[in-house]
Amino acid sequence: MKIINDYPIINKKVLLRSDLNVPVKNGIIADKTRIQAIKKTINYLIKNNNKIFLLSHFGRPKGQFNNNFSLKFLCPTLEDCFSINKIHFAPSLDIHTINKINLIMKKKEICLLENIRFYSEEENNDLDFAKNLASCFDVYVNDAFSVSHRNHVSITGITNFLPSVAGLSLSNEVNNLNKLLINPNKPIAAIIGGSKVSTKLSLFNNLIDLFDTIIVGGAMANTFLLAKGFNIGKSLVEKNFVKEANNILENSNNSNCKLILPIDVICADNLSNPKNINLVEVNKIKKNQIALDIGKDTIKIIQTHLKDFKMILWNGPLGAYETKPFDEGTNAIINIFKQLSLNQDIVIAAGGGDTVAAIKETKTENCFSYISNAGGAFLEWLEGKESPGIKALKENVIF
């Protein structure tokens, strides 16, 4: 895969695919991480006298112009984050509009292009549309690993018509993931949480062959407990995936991968109005109760196991962490990571939307060697699937 700093990109019109699909609450950007992620690439391109055209999606406008999903509101934030006096804005992806702005732009300046998902051609990967768009630029840079699992114009289609390289943020994501999956420092463990086994079957099946231990938490643990014959009361469970859970348990044994399930849980009558909160062993869950978090003995087991590993991957909360007191298990694991991070020889990686949210809520980002903000692309890579966007960069032969 070609990396941006391996090639002389100087005095060019650069199309930079970024992920500016930032969370917005009450008109205010709640998290600027995705903007900050491309700052190194931006600075590199500015240093080399390029004109930079930022391309991104925002929300789900379904291929139609919709002011509610316009990217124009980001201009002041981008000016502040990149220390730029002015961000140009292109209200459409029409060639004449882009070329007109290019004429008034100076080197080292940035133009934000309008939401590419206003065009149905984007998600259809229309190559005529891609060729038309590419004609306005000299080089394409993909710095949006989080959407590189999409086979869209702005990810794969455009690479057919422009010299294409990876940005510094994307290459950092790929390098860190490969450290976990290709010749990792052993022993290596994974903590997998979340609600559904069905969404992580491929993840389990891939990690079982690569990891020494997998610790399971969250509601998905209920399906494994049911598969082992435990009564789980009214807990969230995927009964249709009990067979798959059994297969994972069997495959883990065959692959010498230890799979650890909760031995005790925090239960309540319901989540919306928690009452009768009880800590019980997994063989004593009451028929009318719901398992909502891991228990103290399970936390102790996890703590005992994790201290022996050189690399640890975390994906998914271990309970209904959005609702107190069922955030205690997830927070306890974060505190374990906090202690482990004092040992510089341990690599601790994390990813997934809820996982990252929990880390940010506890302000413990510095305790992790690597945090991925890529969501779906992060999971697909862990499943052993090469992202279409990465493949497209590898296959680009125009440079």
Tell whether 396 is covered by a domain.
no
Q: Give the CATH number, domain containing residue 64.
A: 3.40.50.1260
Tell whether 20 is covered by a domain.
yes
pLDDT at 174: 95
Domain termination residue (choose one: 167, 199, 223): 167
Q: Are residues 110 and 226 in the same domain?
A: no
Tell whether 330 is covered by a domain.
yes
Angle at which helices 75-82 and 39-47 cross, to 10°? 70
Tell whether 308 is covered by a domain.
yes
Q: Are residues 113 and 230 in the same domain?
A: no
Low-confidence stretches of the chain (pLDDT < 70) are 399
Q: Which residues are catalytic?
A: 34, 196, 353, 376
Domain termination residue (choose one: 167, 192, 214): 167
Tell whether 47 is covered by a domain.
yes
Tell whether 22 is covered by a domain.
yes
Identify the domain containing residue 343 by its residue range.
184-382
Domain count, the chain: 2
Q: Are residues 298 and 342 in the same domain?
A: yes
Q: Are residues 355 and 259 in the same domain?
A: yes
Q: Are residues 259 and 292 in the same domain?
A: yes
Q: Are residues 162 and 192 in the same domain?
A: no
Q: Are residues 225 and 293 in the same domain?
A: yes
Q: Are residues 66 and 193 in the same domain?
A: no
Q: Are residues 208 and 281 in the same domain?
A: yes
Tell whether 60 is covered by a domain.
yes
pLDDT at 344: 81
pLDDT at 398: 75
Q: Are residues 238 and 362 in the same domain?
A: yes
pLDDT at 399: 65
pLDDT at 185: 92
Q: Do residues 193 and 326 touch, judged by C-beta distance below 8 A?
A: no
